[in-house]
Amino acid sequence: MAVSDRVDVGFRSERGPILIALMLATALVALESTILATAVPTIVDDLGGFTQFPWLFSSYLLAQAVLVPVYGKLSDIFGRTPVLLFGIGVFAAGSVLCAVAWSMPALIAFRALQGIGAGAVLPMAQTIAGDIYTVAERAKAQGYLASVWGMSSIVGPTVGGVFSDFMSWRWIFWVNVPLCAVAAWVLVRSFHESKPDGPRRSVDWAGATTLAVGAALVILGLLEGGQSWAWVSTTSIAIFTAGAVLLVSFVVIETRVPEPILPVWVLTRRVLITTSAVSCLVGAVVLGLTSYVPSFVQGSLGTTALVAGFTLAAMTLGWPIAAAQSGRLYLRLGFRTTGLIGAVPLLTGTTLLTQTGPDSAPWQVAGCCVVIGLGMGLIASPSLIAAQSSVKWGERGVVTGANAFARSIGSAVGVAVFGALANAALARSGATEGSAPNSEQLAASVSPVFTAVLVCALVLAVCVASIPNRIGRDENRTGHA
């Protein structure tokens, strides 16, 4: 497949339309992660089902997470474009059905359909960026994609509130349809991908099914354990047992098929093991911050929801700035050194965050988030690029999918661990069950979560130190306009 010597990265370059399409596709997933939160009260008033509304988020995240490695492998077999277009199409169909949902159970089911589509969109956008840009260019390209999350963290809650208050919550989903159409049209028009060379490869459907269902059960148990059911209940034990059995079956299947959906070599190469561990911990840190920083700022510091949202958005402002500049560092100093440089602001920010309390000012928390974001930008993007650069085109999809899957697992484990820590601390603070905690009790419950985030950051730094500084293989870019 053709490789070019072009070095310009941006909207005005020849690859600019492709980058725009990838950013639009990424925006679909990013906005959907933030836009719904402010509309939940309105949705509950319209459809009912107050006790069921958390599943609006769980069903979406669950469906998205478990299919990521499957889509990654399929893209290595059939190409990126068909998988990405399929994901956009399913996401659009799910959005239309969500917009016309007649009950909370129906909306939950259609959100799961959205998640099935979203599972293809994000990793394919990252994979295509890895295909069409060289190692020197990928940091800036990934910075553009990361900036979408920063914008979405600000725009999403605001737009969701506007639709809910002045129009209808259903427009939250209708607005996805034209975005899907534009992203698909620009992609088809601008990105002309060559078909994978060689004989037609088979699809490991047995492995894909056991992995998806087994991972879904484990993640479901982590997401809902201690909330929908007790950790030691029969339901919890049954879910984890069934998930473990299916995952063991998946490992057995993968050793016996010619085209495993998640090849064993993904779990044996040093660069892939370490970068996946980094991605897993990044997911845990981000989840801890996004879940508890707004609650802390709003409930303990006494600010509005808007101020709390902007406090967290500070992290996503620093992240793309650092990610876009990381290319200069890893080309000159190496991937490991760049990540270790990023570990300094990450550890500084998380350490300062553990020192905040009821007397802190919102700007102090926001400052911590900016510093953490700068560190994340110098760690997350270079580690993904290191993983992508270590394999050839026909393996890049499965590697990117495995990296994204590891981040989802980290987020799910983080939900369980941070929730357990917060609930235990809240009980010790003297808060009574069923009543809203006061500012001191809320601060006491969030404090161990921030400490756990710091521990995750420390382990993350250790994992970064294990990433090879230089990557030997990179077959650069393939199939483009």
* Complete DSSP assignment for 162-229: HHHHHS-TTHHHHTHHHHHHHHHHHHHHH--PPPPPSSPPP--HHHHHHHHHHHHHHHHHHHHBTTTB
Rounded to the nearest angstrom, the gap between the alpha carbon of residue 63 and the centroid of all alpha carbons in its chain is 13
Out of 167, 192, 217, a domain closes at 192
pLDDT at 480: 42
| pLDDT above 50 for 357 | yes
Same domain, 236 and 273: no
Task: Give residues with Cβ within 8 angstroms of 138, minimum separation 6.
Answer: 129, 130, 327, 381, 385, 388, 389
Q: How many domains does the chain have?
A: 3
pLDDT at 291: 74
Residue 199 falls within a domain, yes or no?
no
Domain that holds residue 166: 1-192
Same domain, 218 and 294: no
Out of 192, 220, 237, a domain closes at 192
Cα angle at 456 between 63 and 315, to 5 degrees? 75
Same domain, 289 and 433: yes
Query: What percentage of the chain carries pLDDT values higher than 70?
Result: 87
Write out pLDDT tens, residues 178-232.
Answer: 989 988 998 888 887 766 565 566 778 888 889 888 888 888 887 777 777 888 8
Same domain, 352 and 413: yes
Write out pLDDT tens, residues 303-318.
Answer: 776 677 677 777 777 8
Q: How confident is the model at residue 477 (pLDDT cuts 50, 70, 90)?
A: very low
Residue 77 falls within a domain, yes or no?
yes
Out of 169, 192, 215, a domain closes at 192
Same domain, 442 and 461: yes
Residue 198 falls within a domain, yes or no?
no
Same domain, 224 and 274: no
Write out pLDDT tens, residues 104-148.
Answer: 889 989 998 998 998 888 888 888 888 888 777 777 777 778 778
Same domain, 449 and 479: yes
Task: Give residues with Cβ within 8 angstroms of 355, minimum separation 6.
Answer: none
Same domain, 282 and 411: yes
Same domain, 380 and 333: yes
Residue 94 falls within a domain, yes or no?
yes
pLDDT at 4: 39
Write out pLDDT tens, residues 397-453.
Answer: 888 888 888 888 888 788 778 877 887 887 787 666 555 667 777 788 888 989 999
Same domain, 94 and 171: yes
pLDDT at 432: 60
Same domain, 123 and 228: no
Q: What is the mean pLDDT of the chain?
A: 81
Task: Give residues with Cβ within 8 angstroms of 342, minimum separation 6.
Answer: 322, 326, 374, 375, 376, 377, 378, 379, 382, 464
User: 23 or 9: which carries more pLDDT confidence?
Assistant: 23
User: 352 or 51: which carries more pLDDT confidence?
Assistant: 352
Q: How confident is the model at residue 28 (pLDDT cuts 50, 70, 90)?
A: confident
| pLDDT above 60 for 2 | no
Write out pLDDT tens, residues 36-69.
Answer: 766 776 787 888 765 666 677 778 888 888 888 8
Residue 89 falls within a domain, yes or no?
yes
Q: How confident is the model at residue 249 (pLDDT cuts 50, 70, 90)?
A: very high
pLDDT at 348: 95
Residue 178 has phi, psi (to 5 degrees) of -65, -35
pLDDT at 405: 84
Same domain, 209 and 312: no
CATH of the domain at 140: 1.20.1250.20
* For residues 255-262, average pLDDT: 81
Pick the closest to residue 112 from 32, 166, 224, 171 (CA basis).
Answer: 32
Residue 197 falls within a domain, yes or no?
no
Measure the CA–CA gap between 167 and 39, rounded to whole angstroms.
Answer: 11
